[in-house]
Amino acid sequence: MTSSPAESPTARLQELKALATACHTAFLAVSAASHWKPGPDATDRVDAMNRVDPSTSSDGIMAGAALVSEVVVSYLEIAAGNLKSIGTLIGGGELFGPPALARAVMENCARVFWVLGKGIDPAAVLARAYLEEFDSCERQKSAAKRLGGGTSAPEYGAARARWTSVRQRAMKAFPGATREALAEGAPGRTIGSDTLPSPAAGVIAMFEFLRADAGGTITGGVAEGMYDFLSSNVHPSLYTIRQLRRYIDHGDHYGSELHMDLNFIEKLLMAALITFYNALSYTMSFYDLARAPHDVLTEQMAATFPEAFTGS
C-alpha cells in the first residue's frame, strides 16, 4: 500500500484526498438517487419492522422502518462527512486531525453494521435502532442539563421530552423492555437479547465481521490495537507525536521537526475507507438500492488502491 516511486508525495496526497472526497460524493449520490426508499427485495423486512412498532413517525421522532433508516443513514452521513474532512486535512499536509477522524469514521460505520446485523430478525434490527436512538437521547438530555444550567433550561425540557417519548415507544414495541434494561448500567442498554456495544467493541466486531464475510484482513486483535492507537490521537498522549518527530542536532541542544509518513497516511486512510465502503454497500443491499453510485466508488477505490481488490 505504497505510492509509486515515480509519484511525488504531493501528488499522492491529492489522490488520497480525491478518494476520501469520493466517499462523500457516493453517499450524496445514493441519497439523491434513492431517497433511501427500499427496493422490492426489501419490502418484506420493512413491513415486518413496521408491524412490530405500534408507534408512528411524528414530532421529529421516527418509528418502525423509518427509525432504522434514520439511524443507519445518519451514521453513514457522519462517516462520509468525516472522510471528506480527512481528505481536506491530508491534502493540506496536516498531521494531527486525520487519526481522530478515522476513529470517528470507524465508530459510525460499526454502528451501521451492528444495527443491520447479519441475517437477524427484522424485530431485532428495530430493537437495535431503538437502543441507538435512546442512547443518543440520553446524551442529548445530559448535555442540555449541564450546558443549559440545569433542568429549568428550555433545551433540557425539549431533550427530556424526546427522551421520554423514545423510551415509551421502545417499551410499547418491545413489551419485555424495562426502564432498568434501557439504562446505561451493566451490561449496557438492552432490549431482549440485544445490548448496545461500546464504541471500541463495535469497531472490533465490525472488523471481525469484515474478515469473516467480506475478505477483510484485519483481525479482531489488530482492530483493538488500531483502535487504541487512534484513541491515543484523541486523548492526551505523547507517544504518537514522538513517532512523527525527527530530531535535529543543533550542537548545544536538540530540536525536532515533524515528518509525514506517506505509507502511514495511506494505511490510515485505507482502514477508514474500507469500513465506509463496506458499510455503504451493506446498507444498499439491505434496502435493495441501485448499485450504480457504489460501482463508481469501487472504480475509484481500485484505481487508487488496486491492492485492496487484488489481494496483492
Task: Kindly report the backbone phi and psi dihedral angles of residue 305, in degrees, each rounded to the nearest multiple of 5, phi listed first.
Answer: -130, 70
What are the respective helix, strand and coil percentages of the chain, to the nearest 5? 70, 5, 25
Give the confidence band of 148 by pLDDT, cuts at 50, 70, 90: confident
Q: Which domain holds residue 122?
A: 10-310
For the chain, what's the residue count? 312
Sequence-separated (6 or more) residues with CB below 8 Å from residue 79? 104, 105, 108, 109, 112, 275, 276, 279
The strand pairing partners of 58, in sequence order, are 61
The CA distance from 96 to 107, in Å, is: 18
Quick one: average pLDDT of 55-72?
96
250 and 50 Cβ atoms separated by less than 8 Å: no
Q: How many CA atoms lie within 13 A of 146 on its CB side?
A: 6
| Average pLDDT score over residue span 115-135 | 97
Rounded CA separation 223/103 (Å): 11
The maximal CA–CA distance of the chain, rounded, in angstroms, is 76
Instruction: State pLDDT tens for residues 194-219.
Output: 999 999 999 999 999 999 988 888 99
The answer as to whether 2 is a domain residue is: no
Residue 2 predicted with pLDDT over 70: no
Cα separation, 154 vs 302, in Å, equals 50
Give the percent of the chain with pLDDT over 70: 96
Determine, yes or no, domain membership for 113.
yes
pTM of the model: 0.93
Residue 19 lies in a domain: yes
What is the helix (H) or strand (E) element at residue 256, kind and residue range?
Answer: strand 254-258
Lowest pLDDT segment from 12-21, 39-48, 180-189: 180-189
pLDDT bracket for residue 310 (50, 70, 90): low
Overall number of domains in the chain? 1
Considering the domain boundaries, does residue 4 fall inside one? no
Give the residue from 89, 92, 42 showing the smallest Cα distance to 68: 42
Domain-embedded: residue 188: yes
Whether the pLDDT of residue 6 is over 80: the answer is no
Residue 284 has pLDDT above 50, yes or no: yes
**Is position 59 within any domain?**
yes
Cα 117 from Cα 132, distance rounded (Å): 14
pLDDT at 1 over 70: no
Domain membership of residue 1 (yes or no) is no
Q: Is residue 233 part of a domain?
A: yes
Dihedral sign, Cα of residue 19, residue 24, residue 26, residue 27: positive
